[in-house]
Amino acid sequence: MALAGTLSVAGLAGRVRAEPAKAPPAATPPDATALAALIKKGDITPLEAVDTAIARAEALQPTLNFMVNSMFDRARDQAKSGKSGTGPFAGVPFLVKDLNDVKGLPTRSGSRWTLPFPPAASQDAYVDAFEAAGFNIIGKSATPEYGFLPTTEPLAFGATRNPWNTAHSSGGSSGGAAAAVAAGVVPMAHASDGGGSIRIPASCCGLFGLKPSRARMIEAVPSTRVVDIAVEHCVTRSVRDSAALFALTERTDKAAPFAAMGQVTGPNKRRLKVGVVYNTLIGTPPHGEVRAAVDGAVLLLKDMGHHVAPAAWPVSPQFSPDFVTLWALGAVALIKTVSDTLGRPADARDLEPFTFGLTTLLAKLPPNGVADALARLEADAAAYDAWFKRYDVIVSPVLAEPPALLGTVGPSAPMNELMPRLLTYVGYTPLHNVAGAPAMSVPLHWTRDGLPVGVQFAARAGAERTLYELAYELEAARPWAQKTPPAWAG
């Protein structure tokens, strides 16, 4: 994401008793690991796998609008020729988020000004890693303009709709990826996170989504500064798919800030010290259904024997406005790039109202406003790290509300209405990007209306193993992969 919007903040719900652990039903849809095993055994061919994904994409694209462009012919050729190789996910269909270059496809970044751009002549290191793992890329998934919003409603391509209820947002900025995986088009898809963009769509679409630590994963230019907030990974239906791709795409070079973790394959018997936060970073309470989701997770953790206690954010309410300032700097840089490229000032033909609106926020700051905001964010990152001297994991909501109705937090909403919504709605995820720490959304709750609500679990920088081990335990106790939305291709 970037930031997101809020609707109404409803009353708080009562405590919810954790459900007893259940074994996954036999009808659970195959994840990427299972599909790769079927291909390897010869039960299905790579061509059958990709043809199935293409047929599903063509069937659901008119309803959900999760893809920006496709490379179906190339994917079929890859499958026929065996060029998917022998990686762990050989032959598994896959989508890459349209903020990354894929050779032979244009990169639109959710923006109108990129529409004349030719196909990319090269591709990112991350995409190379996907192909080395054996994934067969069938196309690019939708994103809001340059990932600025937590809903995928770019004016250039239209809204991506939530498979659980098409009147609602699939989240952002990896909303196209999440919609496609949730609907069963592909078993997993690439995603990235600069303020919640993996966790928010995972929460909105009932998926598992882990945001890695800063500089943990392979990158063209490894980032080390607090202002380097974006990281890449995926959204999945299972924990094991996410953990397997993590092991394949983490950094193993000598300069990596963390020792390579390898693939985590199951839970740990160690019981954790867990802190619980309910209110947003600006101090507002969550919607009742969101409160119920966290209450249920807390009771489940206690039933498992973990040690749970109340916690409070280690940063002041100024954190969220400071993060918006950081986000606005990205919009200013984008507008300059577009203007320089076009040879004229960028305008509404090129970029969205929200992108221009972000820049107006900087104009309202005092002379040293930007420098002061960045200094406070540095202090907030240090405070986050010190926080984990008391806890192994922090549990909180992902979003302040269930998935928003389309249009509520879209790019054309008036800034004086949209910004207050964003500060509340996305009141939980940006801190982990500034701190460079891992966090995950786990699909543990569905509302009375059938909308998914994820619960966020966060740890100190470099502690992805702790989160994955906990995720396996939660998945076994409260399985979710058998849940399928009304817009389901499988």
C-beta separation of 400 from 280 below 8 A: yes
* C-alpha–C-alpha distance, residues 406 and 414, integer Å: 15
Q: Which of 70, 84, 97, 213 is catalytic?
A: 97
Partners of 273 in the beta sheet? 307
C-beta separation of 23 from 78 below 8 A: no
* C-alpha–C-alpha distance, residues 61 and 186, integer Å: 13
* 233, amino acid identity: H
* C-alpha–C-alpha distance, residues 464 and 439, integer Å: 8
* C-alpha–C-alpha distance, residues 428 and 287, integer Å: 13
* C-alpha–C-alpha distance, residues 47 and 82, integer Å: 9
Please say if 173 is a catalytic residue: yes
Please say if 396 is a catalytic residue: no
Q: Which of 70, 84, 109, 173 is catalytic?
A: 173
CA atoms within 13 Å, Cβ hemisphere of 451: 22
Backbone angles phi, psi at 412, to 5 degrees: -100, 0
Please say if 97 is a catalytic residue: yes
Q: Which of 84, 197, 213, 242 is catalytic?
A: 197
* C-alpha–C-alpha distance, residues 244 and 240, integer Å: 6
Strands 93-97 and 136-141, by their bridges, are parallel
- Helix and strand totals (H; E) in the chain: 14, 13
SS3 category, 442: strand
* C-alpha–C-alpha distance, residues 284 and 265, integer Å: 37
Q: What is the 3-class SS of 262-331, one letter each residue?
A: CCCCCCCCCCCEEEECCCCCCCCCCCHHHHHHHHHHHHHHHHCCCEEEECCCCCCCCHHHHHHHHHHHHH
The residues that are catalytic are: 97, 173, 197
